Copies of this chain bind each other. A is one copy, B any other.
Amino acid sequence: MDERNAAHRMLEDDIAAKVLGIRLQHAAGGEATLTMTVTAEMVNGHYLAHGGYLFAFADTAFAAACNSHGPVTVASGAEVSFITPAHVGDELTAVATERVRYGRNGIYDVTVYRNGHPDDVVLEFRGRSRTIER
């Protein structure tokens, strides 16, 4: 268990993340690991997990990673590629790593994978962060 930091406090206040059942496993030093189960409420008109919810999951991992340093940091943008569809009941893991920080900016990569298999990738996400409080 990590010591509690700004990322933990932020996730506690994140109602949207709670509604999605997102669980913070680890956040420290610009890295974070979170888990989420795909529920029947998350499917789109093609009966697959809605890309928006998958994005929200990755985005929450990104937020946990970039806020683990302390200062309030927000997303300025992101790029996502959907690799394979996710289905109801899939247990997803999001692993966020810091790629680079420069000035008040940062770039973080998030991989979302399925059922504990890091090679069974659901999406790849690259987020751009900006620290708004020094």
Contact = CB atoms under 8 A, between A and B. Distances in A.
A41 B17 contact: no
Copies held by the complex: 4
Contacts of A55: 52, 55-56, 59, 78
Interface residues of A, number: 52
B79 A77 contact: yes
Contact of A42 (B16, B50, B60, B109): B16
A43 B56 contact: no
Interface in A28-61: 40-48, 50-53, 55-57, 59-60
Contact of A45 (B12, B56, B79, B107): B12
B81 A16 contact: no
A19 interface: yes
